[in-house]
Amino acid sequence: MEVETPLLCHYGVTDVHIENISAYGGFLQTSPEYAMKRLLAHFQQPIYQICKAFRVDECGRYHHPEFTMLEWYRPRFNHHDLMDEMDALLQYVLNCTAAQRFSYRDIFLKHVALDPIAAEVSDCLTLLSQQGIELNDAAKNISKDSALQLIMSHCIEPKLRNTEPTFIFNYPSAQAALAKISKTDPHTAERFEVYIGGIELANGFHELVDADEQFARFQQDQYTRQQLGLPNREIDPCFLAALRHGLPHCAGVALGIDRLLMVILNANHIKDVIHFCWDDIN
């Protein structure tokens, strides 16, 4: 069922890696996730929408402060089921072969010979230095999670330039966001990302439905934001109320439409697929 949710929200997101754009005493949505899950808790059936999303400081080759997103949720799916569906969609849209699939651990071992689960932050910093990525003194105090994200973006993503999609799944539990922690391996979260041509196209979760655990994660986000000197973000009580009402066992994914168009058109920059680029109209 196609749904539509507000672009203007009363509450922002606590995620330390995402910043809301303030508007009219509230915030422009960074994704429709919270509102869509509220509808999912009510309707208990598959839903989707194509909409705009907005994020601060999202400017660059693959980023724009306003972008278009396709997001959908499948009750009774886990992240592997949703990867199958995403794979079928990409084969249809891009006329490509079936995707390659690697666990987060395996893709690190394949490309940088580092076990991201067992490694210490010092191991990550040594690898970054060996790869010619020098950090200033302040950055050398980063967390292991941040160091792993640097390795992923600077050392691994550039190697994912094959023409068929690549799925990376079972991320470290510290990067769970709104995904479930694996029952068979508590060090990993049941989420995936999709890459093609070195571009991250989509991010999917086997969705966390436990309101208490989600609240604890939001509180940890708030603490981390405080430690980093970032603005505090109030936790969205409506979203937590929906989880307590009963979100069905489900999986969800967000696909960047602008980036997908870049792949289809072999475009070099996101502004090549946006008629009104923010940088061009100011």
Q: What is the CATH number of the domain that holds 245?
A: 3.30.930.10
Mean pLDDT of 250-273: 96
Last residue of some domain: 127, 146, 163?
Answer: 163
Q: Output the average pLDDT for the chain.
A: 94
pLDDT of residue 191: 97
145 shares a domain with 124: yes
259 shares a domain with 176: yes
Give the range of the structural domain holding residue 152, as residue numbers without chain letter.
109-163
Number of domains forming the structure of the chain: 2
Work out the pLDDT band at 281, boundaries 50, 70, 90: low
Coil, strand or helix: which one is 112? helix
Amino acid at residue number 217 = R
Give the Cα separation of 33 and 178 in Å (integer). 10
Sheet holding 199-206, edge to edge: 47-54, 66-75, 250-256, 199-206, 188-196, 166-172, 100-103
pLDDT of residue 193: 97
Question: Is pTM beyond 0.85 here?
Answer: yes
- Express each pLDDT in 16-30 by its tens digit: 989 999 999 999 999
132 shares a domain with 177: no
Q: Is residue 3 part of a domain?
A: no
269 shares a domain with 187: yes
Q: Is residue 122 part of a domain?
A: yes
52 shares a domain with 177: yes
pLDDT of residue 141: 81
Work out the pLDDT band at 58, boundaries 50, 70, 90: low
For the chain, how big is the Rg over CA atoms in Å? 19
- Express each pLDDT in 63-100 by its tens digit: 999 999 999 999 999 999 999 999 999 999 999 999 99
Work out the pLDDT band at 210, boundaries 50, 70, 90: very high
168 shares a domain with 158: no
258 shares a domain with 213: yes
Query: For residue 238, what are the CA distances in angstroms to 88, 189, 243?
Result: 34, 24, 9
184 shares a domain with 91: yes
210 shares a domain with 156: no
pLDDT of residue 229: 92
Amino acid at residue number 229 = G
Work out the pLDDT band at 142, boundaries 50, 70, 90: confident
Q: Name beta bridge partners: 51.
A: 69
Mean pLDDT of 105-130: 94
- Express each pLDDT in 153-190 by its tens digit: 999 998 888 778 999 999 999 999 999 999 999 999 99
Mean pLDDT of 130-151: 85
| Least confidently predicted of 43-52, 109-118, 216-225, 273-282 | 273-282
154 shares a domain with 121: yes
- Other CB atoms closer than 10 Å to residue 164's CB: what's the count? 15
174 shares a domain with 94: yes
Q: Is residue 42 part of a domain?
A: yes
